[in-house]
Amino acid sequence: MKSFPMFIRTSGRRVVIVGGGEQAAQKTRLILKTDAEIVLVSPDLDAELQALVAEGRARHVPRLTAEVFDGAAMGFIATGCPGLDAAVHGLAQAVRCPVNVVDRPDLCDLTTPALVDRDPVVIAIGSEGTAPVLTREIKTRLEESLPPNLGGLAALAGRLRPVVEARVPRDQRRPFWAWVFKGGPRGTWTRGNEREAAQEIKAAIAAGGAPQTKTKGHVSLVGAGPGARDLLTLRAVERMQEADVIFYDRLVDADVLELARRDAERVYVGKVVGAHAWPQDRINAVIVAEARRGRRVVRLKSGDPGVFGRVGEELTAIRAAGIDVDVVPGITAASAAAAAMGETLTERGVSDTLILTTGMAQAGAALPDSTRLASPGTTSVFYMSVGQAGRIRDDLLARGLSPKTRIRLGVDVSKPTQQLLDCPLDALEQTLRAADCQGCAVIMVTWPARTLGAMSDEARVA
């Protein structure tokens, strides 16, 4: 290492920022995360910095002298003028104040890392100035993996540490904190039940240590999105990293599973139309059985669990067993397909109603009337309907939709095999066959309220 990473105390200390423009403002925003006294040194300040001075959050010193650096914890030099920056660096050196000079690594005593802030837990990522893009990518991944409220749990632990030392025997303290941060309290806290977690921790302290009873199980029904792992929500990633066991289906991409804890058990419960190796009743039973063992269970479903995901059946079984459960929504295929195409699902004056429907039905039931709501002013998105494309085409034609209406097709949306296709309604079946589509697709049909050509100039401008 050419630089040693450490944290610098800011309580009761000054941080000097030389400059009054945007570069200085960027450094000021960073230091505003701390409790340091901020000193802004410049003849003039931009509006943002002036507001901070007016609010009493920073102090303004119009004239630069070496004394302004004397005793400061650190300084940032961001005048925007290379020659002036170098001169100011010399003044700071004269009083031994370490400084960061913006865009001049050769003059920097300090570099500013990328920060993941879960105060009081803070993670700093640096590359000694060699790869800032990489450090930002690492920061993004850490932001995804750490719950936003994790710092609150660390702060609570800090407040409770004295009473733990008084009530919990020395040889039980490490197991106690392991239980807090790796066991049930952390899971309860990060799910948003902070009061319940705090009460659980305090009860354990009063009892003299972590409970020895069996951990209470929990199930999360998690939407994995359309395929690409960077389309998962932060909450979905959190649940996967908390999980002891993950049940997933055939549409969940392998890259998504890489976001789980390394030691989490992964169980494939894939179902293929016409060949249900894992019938729904069996899936319900194993989810409940694992949760009853005190394990944190994730049922990972492609897209959004509440959109043709059979989440209702699983919720019913889990609740009937008296097990805690939550549902984490995901990006559904309709939204992902429209985004990939750079288009909208609704548009003022064209389509003000969105219909999500399917061409499939429960085994033994009649096929649904999937087009019954289609009419001018609607966009219909058909899920699991490739095998019913001919019937859907005929039904739409019978309802009066033109055979030349543009149909949008999203195949394997957001995956490496993604195909985005257009065709007229009367060529729907042929287009799907030519694309060798085997079922993982959405069919999108917009039936305009009126053509754009018929809209007035005033309406288009509005």
**Structural tokens at position 363:** 């085994």
128 in Cβ contact with 2 (< 8 Å): yes
Nearest residue to 193 (alpha-carbon basis) of 25, 371, 324:
324
Cα 14 to its chain centre, rounded Å, is 35
Distance, in Å, from the CA atom of 184 to the CA atom of 166, rounded to the nearest integer, reads 23
Distance, in Å, from the CA atom of 180 to the CA atom of 168, rounded to the nearest integer, reads 13
The span from the first CA to the last CA of the chain, in angstroms, equals 58
225 in Cβ contact with 331 (< 8 Å): yes
In this structure, what is the dihedral angle of CA atoms 285, 286, 289, 290, given to the nearest 10 degrees? -150
From 27, 85, 244, 249, active-site residue: 249
**Structural tokens at position 43:** 């003849």
From 139, 216, 271, 415, active-site residue: 271
Contacts of 232 (CB under 8 A, 6+ apart): 144, 224, 225, 256, 259, 330
Residue ranges of E strands in 228-295: 245-248, 265-268
Nearest residue to 145 (alpha-carbon basis) of 83, 93, 190:
190
Instruction: Give the distance between the most distant pair of CA atoms in the chain.
Output: 86
Catalytic site includes residue 249: yes
Catalytic site includes residue 214: no
CA gyration radius, the chain: 29
- Whole-number Cα distances in Å, 365 to 229, 360, 368: 35, 9, 9
89 in Cβ contact with 77 (< 8 Å): yes
341 in Cβ contact with 334 (< 8 Å): no
43 in Cβ contact with 158 (< 8 Å): no
Distance, in Å, from the CA atom of 95 to the CA atom of 183, rounded to the nearest integer, reads 50
Distance, in Å, from the CA atom of 233 to the CA atom of 224, rounded to the nearest integer, reads 8
- Name all contacts of 416-425 with Cβ < 8 Å and 24+ positions apart: 418/227, 418/340, 420/337, 420/340, 420/341, 425/393, 425/396, 425/397, 425/401
Indicate which residues carry an active-site annotation. Answer: 249, 271
